[in-house]
Structure 1
């Protein structure tokens, strides 16, 4: 069975900075990651070094006990943390996640809209560090926190 390669935004970074790519995604001029549709999350706001995603977990994202699976929190945080880093990546460079961690603070019921905000704490020539949190869109309750370290690389090399 042949598999199709997933779309890659890496070639676009040869012609634009990370923040320009993210802004193109929010306008619909560049494709979002396929994982976003699978997990029902979307890029919401983009600023240099800071992004937010919105998401609503569905019953298919729940564990056998009816709470949203921890992996859903991980996808949302990894996406926001990585995009916060990407917002500072210059044209001709890209990033990959070296490490990330997630800390859940309370269970989340499916159907609850959340906002995940991530901010870069350090961005250097080869590494960046970001932290983020997931809060209820209506009540502001904290559901999870996370952090990442990313490697920043040249597209050629």
Structure 2
């Protein structure tokens, strides 16, 4: 049986100019309050943000068929995307107005296979070091029992707008 899915999103550049004038946590909260559009990636992969606090932005998703790779488990790229999103936004939540970030380096350890039967998963991120030019951050992808399915470490470059 063929399946289909329709995805809609708003222009991700709406609010970009204003974002440069806001500190990171204020911008993230403004997106959460629908003052600015969410990134299209969240709609595409069906991710949601449940917590926005300084140093930890929690992303969640429930595995679905459209996340699968050819062998019937969630594709590593999906797992990497949610961990990278959580780590980047966690760094962004600590940045002052006029600064942003980009991922410089990313390492992911996939610890357990993820399928539809796994159920809802969430990220837990921790900014280990926030320097003037780079940040070191880590995150885990866990289920409702805090079983770790993947662990990632990232270095982010701090940008000036």
TM-score, structure 1 as length reference: 0.89
Determine which of 47, 52, 56 is the counterpart of 2:58. 52
Counterparts in 2 of 1:54 and 1:12: CA distance versus 1, 3 Å: same
List runs of 5+ in structure 2 lacking aligned partners: 1-10
Q: How far has the Cα of 1:56 moved from its partner?
A: 1.4
Structure 1 segment 5-154 matched on structure 2, within 5 A: 6-7=12-13, 10-110=16-116, 112-136=119-143, 138-154=144-160
C-alpha change, 1:106 and 1:8, in structure 2 (3 Å) is farther
- Note closer, same or farther for the CA distance 1:9–1:150 as it changes in structure 2 (3 Å cut): farther
Whole-angstrom CA distance in 2 between matches of 1:26 and 1:114: 19
CA distance, structure 1, for counterparts of residue 15 and residue 90 of structure 2: 16
Q: C-alpha displacement at 1:10, in angstroms?
A: 4.1
Q: Structure 2 length as normaliser, TM-score?
A: 0.87
Deviation for aligned residue 1:60: 1.0
Distance (whole Å) between structure 2 residues aligned to residue 104 and residue 10 of structure 1: 34
Root-mean-square deviation (Å): 1.6
How many residues in Structure 1 have an aligned counterpart in Structure 2?
150
Unaligned runs of 5+ in 1: none
Ranges of 4+ aligned residues in structure 1 off by more than 3 Å: none
